[in-house]
Structure 1
Amino acid sequence: MKLIGSLTSPYVRKVRIVLAEKKLDYELILDDPWGPATHVTAHNPLGKVPCLIMDENGALFDSRVIVEYLDTLSPVGRLIPPPGRERVEVKRWEAVADGIMDAAAAAFMETHRRPEPQRNIDWVDRQHHKIRAGLDYMDQLLGEQSYCMGVNLCLADIAVGAALGYLDLRFPDTDWRAGHPHLARLAEKLGTRPSFAATRPPAA
């Protein structure tokens, strides 16, 4: 398998952590989807990363689709429960974490990639409100549990860890840990895992 992605994308990092936790071999192909030389469009019509190229079965895109497929490839460390209430709860965690990533990426692009006269500050504030609301929700839901779903690592933790890591990367001056002690504790624990350490994005 080949994974097309960038080192700073939290969605790509989520997939890479799953690959590491599942002990699956792959080749990482770096690509800048915003650059003129991008080649991800040859495999994903939306021109986004991550994109997983499979030997005989074409390509998969969208991190949620990719991680669900990867979890079926090996019985090692199942990360997604079978259909039922527990699975829905894991996917709910993933949806909130991905929503935080979406809002953070949108705010970063607006404030760092758009010329200042064209920036919409009200829209950026709206994205930061989404981030704060998502963090509040997850911190309360996590509580004193060791992991998002109790005592074992699952996809929920990986998605949350990728989102928190992206906030550290793009908004290092924003102390999201203040007021979110449960998430701060989880992030510290996840940071010691080899899968998280090996995929930590380079400093901006």
Structure 2
Amino acid sequence: MKLIGSNTSPYVRKVRVVLAEKKLDYAYELENVWSGDTRIHESNPLGKVPCLVMEDGSTLYDSRVIVEYLDTLSPVCKLLPPNGRDRVDTKTWEALADGVLDAAVLVRLERTLRPPEQQSAAWIERQFVKVNAGLAVMARDLGDSPFCCNNHYSLADVAVGCCLGWLSFRFPEIGWRDDFPNLARLFDKLSERPSFKDTVPHG
């Protein structure tokens, strides 16, 4: 397998963490989708990373699709319950974490791709409302539990950890650590795992 990705993408990091937890071998190819000479469309028509290229040349895209597939490849560290409400709850946590990221990424794109005079303060504020609301729900639903779902490590924690890590990387001014100390405790615990240590965003 080959993963096409970026060291700054939280969605790519989620896939890399899962690959590490599952102890799966893969090649890693860096791609800047914003570069004029990017070739990402040859593998993903949506022009996004992560993109997983299979042994037969077929591709998977969208991090949620990729990690769900990867969890079936090895019995090591099962990250998704097999079915039922537990599986739905885990995927809902993932959707929430990814949704917070989606909103924060839109803010970053607005600020970095548009000149200041063309940026929409109302648009940015709308996205930050989503970020703050999502973080509040994460903290509420985590409560005093050691992990997001059923008191054990799962894909929910991978998604939340990658989300919080990217917010710290790109938006250090968001005071989620002070506002939600239980999320900070979870993040610090996750950050001790080799899979998280080896995929800290940079660039």
TM-score scaled by length of structure 2: 0.98
Aligned residue in 2 for 1:200:
200
Aligned residue in 1 for 2:110:
110
The separation in 1 between residues aligned to 2:140 and 2:13, in whole angstroms, is 25
Aligned residue in 1 for 2:11:
11
Aligned residue in 1 for 2:179:
179
The separation in 2 between residues aligned to 1:6 and 1:157, in whole angstroms, is 21
Q: How does 1:22-171 map to 2 (within 5 A)?
A: 22-56=22-56, 58-171=58-171
More deviation, 18-27/48-57: 48-57
Moved over 6 A (4+): none
The separation in 1 between residues aligned to 2:112 and 2:9, in whole angstroms, is 16
Deviation of residue 57 (structure 1)? 5.3
The separation in 2 between residues aligned to 1:178 and 1:103, in whole angstroms, is 21
**Percent identical:** 55
The separation in 1 between residues aligned to 2:63 and 2:37, in whole angstroms, is 22
Deviation of residue 5 (structure 1)? 0.5
Deviations 1:105-153 (A, max 9, x none): 0001111221111101100011111000000000000001000013321
| Residue segments in structure 1 that go unaligned for 5+ positions in a row | none
> How many aligned positions are there?
203
TM-score scaled by length of structure 1: 0.97
RMSD: 0.9
Question: Secondary structure of 1:169's match?
Answer: helix
Question: Secondary structure of 2:185's match?
Answer: helix
The separation in 2 between residues aligned to 1:161 and 1:104, in whole angstroms, is 15
